[in-house]
Amino acid sequence: MTTKKTAFKTIPVDTKVTWHYRSAIGHGAVTGVFKMGTNADNTMYSVRETDHHPGEPDVVHHSGKALSRA
């Protein structure tokens, strides 16, 4: 028996997104796929933050399920 991989769409680069982080909401844009999953929700994305605080990284990684299109 052979298995067939089903293609799925990832969140496109430069898509503006938001996500919940503790009691705040983060804002940024997708810069690419960090780690491919089996669907868009469990794929990890690299996101460039637009409102990060000093000492926080410019780019963070979140699952597709955690991201909402802005």
Rounded CA separation 67/63 (Å): 7
Query: pLDDT tier at 4 (50, 70, 90 boundaries)?
Result: low
Q: What are the DSSP E strand ranges found in the chain?
A: 16-21, 24-35, 44-49, 59-63, 68-69
pLDDT in tens, 51-64: 877 888 899 999 99
Residue-averaged pLDDT of the chain: 90
Average pLDDT over residues 19-42: 93
Structural domain spans, the chain: 16-69
